[in-house]
Amino acid sequence: MISKEQIQDQALVLFSKYGLKSVNMDDLAKELSVSKKTLYQVYSSKEDLVLSLFEKISSSWDEQVDEILESLENPMQKFLRFTLLRYQFVKRLNPSFLLRSGKQYEKVYSYMMNITWNMEQIIVGILHQAKEEHQLRSDVNVEVFFNVHELIFNAYFEQYNPVVPGSRETFKHMIIAPIAGICEKEEFDIWTEFDSLILSYN
């Protein structure tokens, strides 16, 4: 008997590689070497499967966010870990698969909006705290910085396919450098932190 996890893992691989539209339940059954009937006994439709995927992604995201918030005190360490978590998600999931799923299924869209909204609240709060603790330069405008960070992150997300070699180098210069630029190095040495963390985010 095939497990839900096996189906989900294979589905994610196929969707991320070929996109939401190009992959149907037939392709998936073939790839898993099971009959279509077996597959439909576990997931009654493609929508059902996609929703289960996003439920899984969304709860895995929440868990990792909680882990960061609970295990760390230092606000800029939290922010850096958040940023790397997003990088990891971008590397694992194909951005156009995410966008397409959000457009196709209202429930997926609401998962994504929920994640985005929560993240925004958390990050802006962390950055304000970092500024109060003098980890950030006193002339930093947290809201402006956050908007710019999101804009650049989305540009990275949309323009750099995760499989392009060197995308970690680009991430470093595109996403980490602007954060480094607003830090007070004496209070938070982001490059040292980054170099030690990045190895575990592949």
Applying CB under 8 A, the residues found at the interface with a second copy are 137, 139-141, 144-145, 147-148, 151-152, 155, 159, 166, 169-170, 173-174, 176-182, 185, 191
How remote is the C-alpha of 27 from its chain's centroid?
Answer: 26
Helix ranges (DSSP H) in 105-141:
106-132
Whether the Cβ atoms of residue 87 and residue 144 lie closer than 8 Å to each other: no
Greatest pairwise CA separation for the chain in angstroms: 62
Length of the chain: 202
Closest CB 195 distance from a second copy, rounded Å? 8
Rg of the chain over all Cα atoms, to the nearest angstrom: 19
In this complex, which beta carbon is closest to a second copy, that of residue 105 or of residue 191? 191
Closest CB 88 distance from a second copy, rounded Å? 20
In this complex, which beta carbon is closest to a second copy, that of residue 69 or of residue 151? 151
Closest CB 131 distance from a second copy, rounded Å? 13
In this complex, which beta carbon is closest to a second copy, that of residue 33 or of residue 166? 166
